[in-house]
Structure 1
Amino acid sequence: MTDWNKDREKKIMVKYRFTLTFRVVKVLAACLFLFWAYMMAVNILSDAANSERKHAFYSKVALDWKYPNMHEDFGGMLNKEVTPFLTQKISYPIARKIGREYQTIGEVKVEKRLLNSYSTLSIQEFQPQNESIYRFSLPENPNSGKRLAAEGEPAVWTSLEKIHEGTVAELAFSTQSFMKPEELLELLKPYDLEVLWMPLYTGELKEFKTGYGSGGNSIELTSIYGLAGGRKAGDDYKSESKLALNEEFMDENKKVMLKQMEGLLKNESQSYYENFLGLDYLKERHQYLKKNGFIVYGAVVTGPVKELLKLKREEQIRAPYLGEKDYWNWD
């Protein structure tokens, strides 16, 4: 029989601690390996399904429709991450076009969770801009046909007169009547300007009720869609292209917008395009455009300030708002 003593007790305790530590390390290593394998599988399956690229693409489509003169920065990187809880985090820089150049103004952050109701698409601007320039007044009451007034900034033309000619700027305005996009482009054809976005009338207040602001005899809708350059993507969403908003591609731009609407309505849930992308009344707007065609009542344009000033003589143009300005960068 072995005698028990302090030295033997110490050796046993040391051996036990070593064995326990080794087992803990093995368990932790196994857990880390399993976690690594799990994340590898999650990322591989996510890439194979193209889900992150799809969410990024449709977030840009929503950006095109809902936010005038806001573009993803084509030179910026698309950052992607999948969390252990399968939340897909996507971010990319956004820019505003002033003249011929893009100014980075912020970042879009997308968090696509398993439940669309908890998914978010947010815009974070580095320096908050004055969004009041993107206000458009309806030319007439959709239900009664009665002509409406428009507010605008009366000092816009005076400001443009005082700005140095070696400057470019953006300008938003409404029109005196509903117009086809081609008619508005024809109206602006004599001017050396670029059309960036046009507010669309898609049946608001007539086919469906939505929010609006009313001051005196004017109506400004709080939620509108706009016509921008059509955005396309391949089946795997790896390649993207965007058309110019001009006469050459106008028919194609309309077809692309309707096709994207149809794709969302057919392939995605209502909570995806409404709660996640923020595209309200998508079905009603799509039906209205299909039945009645594309009708606009304003535009956002950019160009030399003295060219913008010439728009003052156009009777069709009203309620102007002057946006951001920059040093000359025009051709």
Structure 2
Amino acid sequence: MEWNKDLEKKILYKYRFTLTVRVIKVIAATLFFFWLYMLLVSLIYDGTQLGEKHAFYSKVAMDWTQPNMEEDFGGLDSIEITPFLTQKISYPIYKRVGKETVRAGEMKQAKSLLNTFSKRNIEFAEPKTEKEYNFYLPEDPRTGKSLEENEVPGIWNRLEKVDEGTVAELSFSTKTFMKPEELYEILKPYDVDVLWMPLYAGELKDFETSWGGGGDSISLFYNFGFTGGRETNNDFNSQTKLSFEPDHLNENKKLMLKQMNELLENESESYRENFLGLDHLEERYNYLMKNGFQVYGAVVTGPVKELLKLRDLEQIQGADLGKMTYWNWEE
């Protein structure tokens, strides 16, 4: 056969066609095996209930460390696993202002095979206006010396000027450590709802932690607190959540200690710290078991004129005003 340009074109065309078919077959086979791999990974992942477990403990950690933050209880969480076996969990979060909730943002977490590379982040809906909670210790745990608050100027004057048809959230510290029951008793005469209390768990006494302040004040950078507890069944599919009210305080304490103990017994330190964001959990648990629950402030919500009455309480200090919205309170 004599070589010519037509023959050359014919051979090149045939070669390109054959190569293209082979490439398509390789891509198709790769996609098929990838689909099969992800199907098996997803089936195994769904069967182990790992996603539901991580989502549950994520919410428990949020209850303890994020004052007045809650998920849409009963809503659907976004749970998925990537080809590299990173587990991604996200759910919207809300804040109680008055009797209703307002959208605060979204909790996003990624749990890698190595917990060291896990990520936890809250994407706030309005990051520029989101209030950072500061609570001030009533005394220096290392010396017992009484401390003072770092009062935000003009908080009470601002409340005086707000229209009475408004509800808001307010945070404050107390001048002494006290039991949750004692703080509830102090607030009993006022028409407000208590949402969260900062809990003293041995910071600066039994273990070192970061703190700030000015003059004779100490504010811990890491919030750790007490609120309504939650419980789940063995497969993490069904959950219950208790309200944070005086009648349920003992049950809430038991649930909190139970979950702290479960995390200590069943999960690694890297899981607790890098994925859940819970530092010094063992030291906190041991302190609470030995000394009981002591709080030094609260986050409350209610009508602004009712919140204004708290100014007359001698036991509170360091008040700060959070979100406000239109009236949604019970008459």
The amino acid across from 1:80 in the alignment is I
User: 1:57 & 1:75 partners in 2: Cα distance?
Assistant: 12
User: 1:217 & 1:20 partners in 2: Cα distance?
Assistant: 77
Q: How far off is 1:10 after superposition? A: 5.5
C-alpha contact 1:140 1:148 (8 A) present in aligned 2: yes
Per-residue CA deviation, residues 215-242 of structure 1 (Å, 9 max, x unaligned), is 1111111123100110222211122221
User: 1:4 & 1:143 partners in 2: Cα distance?
Assistant: 99
Q: How many residue pairs were aligned?
A: 329
Are residue 148 (structure 1) and residue 163 (structure 2) matched?
no
Are residue 214 (structure 1) and residue 213 (structure 2) matched?
yes
Per-residue CA deviation, residues 253-275 of structure 1 (Å, 9 max, x unaligned), is 11111111111111111111112
* Matched residue, 1:22: 21
RMSD of aligned alpha carbons: 1.8
Q: How far off is 1:21 after superposition? A: 2.9
User: 1:133 & 1:82 partners in 2: Cα distance?
Assistant: 32
Question: Gapped runs of 5+ residues in structure 2?
Answer: none
* Matched residue, 2:51: 52
* Matched residue, 2:323: 324
Q: What's the TM-score once normalised by structure 2's chain length?
A: 0.94
When residues 12 and 213 of structure 1 are mapped into structure 2, their CA distance, relative to the original with a 3 A threshold, is: closer
C-alpha contact 1:73 1:104 (8 A) present in aligned 2: no
User: 2:16 & 2:221 partners in 1: Cα distance?
Assistant: 68
Q: Which structure 2 residues correspond to residues 160-309 of structure 1 after superposition, within 5 A?
A: 160-309=159-308
C-alpha contact 1:61 1:231 (8 A) present in aligned 2: yes
Q: How far off is 1:8 after superposition? A: 6.1
C-alpha contact 1:133 1:172 (8 A) present in aligned 2: no
The amino acid across from 2:293 in the alignment is F
Per-residue CA deviation, residues 128-160 of structure 1 (Å, 9 max, x unaligned), is 155555111111121222211112224222222
Q: What's the TM-score once normalised by structure 1's chain length?
A: 0.94
The amino acid across from 2:40 in the alignment is A
C-alpha contact 1:193 1:303 (8 A) present in aligned 2: yes
* Matched residue, 1:100: 99
* Matched residue, 1:69: 68
User: 2:193 & 2:94 partners in 1: Cα distance?
Assistant: 16
When residues 22 and 161 of structure 1 are mapped into structure 2, their CA distance, relative to the original with a 3 A threshold, is: same
C-alpha contact 2:65 2:224 (8 A) present in aligned 1: yes
User: 2:133 & 2:193 partners in 1: Cα distance?
Assistant: 16
When residues 212 and 10 of structure 1 are mapped into structure 2, their CA distance, relative to the original with a 3 A threshold, is: closer
Work out the percentage of aligned pairs sharing the same amino acid: 58
User: 1:264 & 1:182 partners in 2: Cα distance?
Assistant: 26
Question: Gapped runs of 5+ residues in structure 1?
Answer: none
C-alpha contact 1:94 1:108 (8 A) present in aligned 2: yes
Q: How far off is 1:74 after superposition? A: 3.4
Q: Secondary structure at the match of 1:249?
A: helix
Q: How far off is 1:196 after superposition? A: 0.5
Task: Please identify, of 279-288 and 123-132, the stretch whose mean Cα deviation from structure 2 is larger.
Answer: 123-132
C-alpha contact 1:212 1:222 (8 A) present in aligned 2: yes
Q: How far off is 1:57 after superposition? A: 1.5
Are residue 315 (structure 1) and residue 320 (structure 2) matched?
no
